[in-house]
Amino acid sequence: MAIIGIVAVAKNNAIGKGGKLPWHYSADLKFFKQTTTGNSIVMGMNTWRSIGRPLPNRLNIVLSRSAQIDQAENLIFLRSEKEALDLSRYLNCDMYVIGGSKTFAEFSDYIQKWIVTEVPLDVADADTFMPADFLHGFNRVEASDIDDGLRVSVYEKVS
């Protein structure tokens, strides 16, 4: 099973503003749902707070060293990326790393593929960004346009 990063990124590498996505594109949300359904998703605490509930038909893995939150169906809390990586060996599905920036950084050495939605905006007042070089060591293997002027590119790690 693969460990895959999935992210929507603005032209200026912005991915968040005030704890939320700085845009709303139904085509991107639909693509995200279709891509991740039936798999596991890993997120940090801030991303969990912004979503506010377990996403259905996926194993929701939230990383937090301290938070204690009520358990729910399809939701587990782990303390570290190492625990998530250990768990991934026992799953019969792909593991999608969905954010935020700290979680992407923690998994950067383990992500084998990136699925990047290119958002045609510059977000001037964004407060969360992807590093400019996050795709270093990856080659684009596929690109397609979806609705709302969005382009999705798939990058695979160069061996």
Q: What is the pLDDT of residues 67-118, one digit of tens each?
A: 666 677 889 999 999 999 999 999 999 999 999 999 999 999 999 999 999 9
Q: Which residues pair with 144 in a beta bridge?
A: 152
Q: What is the mean pLDDT of the chain?
A: 94
Q: What is the mean pLDDT of residues 126-144?
A: 96
pTM of the entire predicted model: 0.95
Residues 6+ apart with CB under 8 A from 136: none
Nearest to 104 by CA among 124, 129, 69, 79: 129
Number of domains, the chain: 1
Domain range spanning residue 134? 3-157
Tell me the CATH number at 107: 3.40.430.10
